[in-house]
Amino acid sequence: MNSLTRMWKKEWPLHLMLLPGLAFIIIFSYIPMSGIMMAFQKYVPNKGLFGSPFIGWRNFQLLMDYPDIRRVFFNTVYIAVMKIVAGLFVPITIAILLNELRREWIKRTFQTLVYLPHFLSWVLLSGILVDILSPSSGIFNQMLGWFGIKPIFFLGDNNWFPYVMVISDVWKEFGFGTIVYLAALTGINPTLYEAAEIDGAGRWKQTLHVTLPGMMPIIVLMLTLNIGNVLNAGFDQIFNLYSAPVYESADIIDTFVYRMGIQQAQFGFATAVGLLKSVVSFIFISVSYVLAYRLANYRIF
């Protein structure tokens, strides 16, 4: 009892500081979370959340009964994992390379330019990609032609489609992704570099032994949070770019749910799929949180 009061006396300002934030998430996140019940209901609007009949796992059953479900899951995870890996590696590399630029204005210009594609929508980019990747007239295939490679129908070929998704997504987002690493770089103590230089370490060694360790907390954090996206392969992008010949390699959970939504006016199904995705994210994030704590003694959050 006594220790509790002492703790309260010492810590009350910290609790107080959390209060406004907590208020917001309780009102705008936790209260609406009651909607998760819809996943187990046949939702009837005028009976509401608390009056609609429960139907157990039927909404999940509908998902699992889908004949192509294994394919769809595989595509989702396959594309998502590649995006997570590339989406981590590329921005870090570019951030380090940008950091090596010596003239500040060149650095800033490049930073700004690579950040631009983030603001283009996939609706718009899909038209551009169809042009660029066209086997008959696209500039990309023409360049491949210089090396004697036959034209490839990137958007219409199941062997290529997932990679096109990953590469184009990385291209669109890496510039925006570098921002956070550039911020992390500013936090590295310059004296560490000086010390390393005195020890005779070249730039490469400095990158390896000073820069990367300095960025590590943010890298681990970004990795952990991105791992939660293992079932998000990017609806907007795939929806705008896929087509019947590549359904086999391109159909993901979200595009499937979207198409079901046109037939089905039910909210239960979409909620059930959303819940499933949340649970999977939760598991992945928890595991990586625990791993980071056990292995590196570092709490990500």
Partner 1 sequence: MVIKPSFGRRAFLVSNLIFLAFISFLCLMPIIHILAISFSSGSAAAAGKVALWPVEFTTAAYDNVFGKPEYVRAFGISIQRVVVGTALSMLLTIVTAYPLSKDRNTFRLRTVYAWIFVFTILFNGGLIPTYLTIKSLGLIDSLGALVFPMAINVFNVILLLNFYRNLPRELEDASRIDGAGHFSTLWKIYVPLSLPALATTGLFTMVGHWNSWFDGMLYMNHPENYPLQTFLQTVIIKMDFRFLKSENVELMLQLSDRTSRAAQIFVAAFPILIVYPFLQRFFIKGIVMGSVKE
Partner 2 sequence: MKSKKALAMISLTLALAISGCGFKSSSEPNQQLGNSKDPIQTTGTGNSDDIIEVSTVSPSDPYLKFDEGEDFDKNSVYDAYEQDIGVKITNKWIADVSQFKERVKIAIASNDLPDFLLVNASQLKELTEADMIMDLTEIYDQHATEETKKFLTVDGGMQMKTAMFDGKMMGIPSSYNPFNYQFLFVRTDWLKELGLPEPKTMDDLIEIAEAFKAKNPGGTKQAYGISVSKNPFSTETGVTGLRAFLNGYHAYENTWMEDGNGGLMNSDIQPEMKQALAALQDMFKKGLIDPEFAVKDSEKAAELIYDGSIGMVFGASWTPAQLAKGAVKDGKVVQEWGVYPIPSVDASPTLNQIGLGVDEYYVISKKAKHPEGVIKLLNQYIVTQSHPTEEQKVYEYGKDRVEKGANYWLLNPLRVGRQIDNNGEILPKAIETKDASILETKDQKTRYERAMKYVDGSDINMWWEYLISGPNGAVSHNPKIQQNKQYLQNKFYGAPTPTMADRQEILTKKRDEIFIKIIMNQVSVDEFDTFVEEWKKLGGDEITKEVNEWYQSLQ
Residues between 60 and 119 with contacts to partner 1, criterion CB under 8 A? 94, 97-98, 100-102, 106, 108-119
36-44 CB contacts, 8 Å cutoff, 24+ apart: 36/271, 36/275, 38/267, 38/268, 38/271, 38/272, 39/268, 39/271, 39/272, 39/274, 39/275, 40/268, 40/272, 41/268, 42/266, 42/268, 43/266, 43/267, 43/268
Residue 32 binds partner 2, judged by CB under 8 A: no
Q: Which two tokens stand for residue 109?
A: 């210009």
Rounded Cα distance, 226 and 85, in Å: 9
Q: From partner 1, partner 2, none, which one binds at residue 146 (CB under 5 to 8 Å depending on kind)?
A: none
Among 2, 5, 46, 186, binds partner 2 (CB under 8 A): 46
Rounded Cα distance, 107 and 92, in Å: 15
Q: Which is nearer to partner 1, 90 or 233 (CB)?
A: 90
Task: Identify the bridge partners of residue 41 per DSSP, sorted by sequence position.
Answer: 54
Query: Which residues from 170-209 bind partner 1, rule CB under 8 A?
Result: 171, 175, 179-180, 182-191, 203
Q: Which of 157, 270, 282 is nearest to 225 (CA)?
A: 282
Site string for partner 2, 55-74 (x = CB under 8 A): -------x---xxx------
CB 112 within 8 A of CB 195: no
DSSP structural state of residue 54: B
Shortest Å distance, C-beta 54 to partner 2:
16
Rounded Cα distance, 54 and 262, in Å: 23
Among 79, 165, 230, 285, binds partner 1 (CB under 8 A): 285
Q: Which is nearer to partner 2, 23 or 143 (CB)?
A: 23
Shortest Å distance, C-beta 283 to partner 1:
10
3-state secondary structure of 41: strand
Shortest Å distance, C-beta 277 to partner 1:
9
Q: Which two tokens stand for residue 239?
A: 């929806």
Among 3, 136, 186, 297, binds partner 2 (CB under 8 A): 136
Shortest Å distance, C-beta 69 to partner 1:
22
Among 53, 127, 187, 202, binds partner 2 (CB under 8 A): 127
Shortest Å distance, C-beta 248 to partner 1:
26
Q: Which is nearer to partner 1, 71 or 167 (CB)?
A: 167
Residue type present at position 249: S
**Site residues, partner 2 (CB under 8 A):** 13, 16, 20, 43-48, 62, 66-68, 127, 130, 134-137, 153, 155-156, 241, 243-245, 247-248, 251, 256, 259-260, 262-265, 267
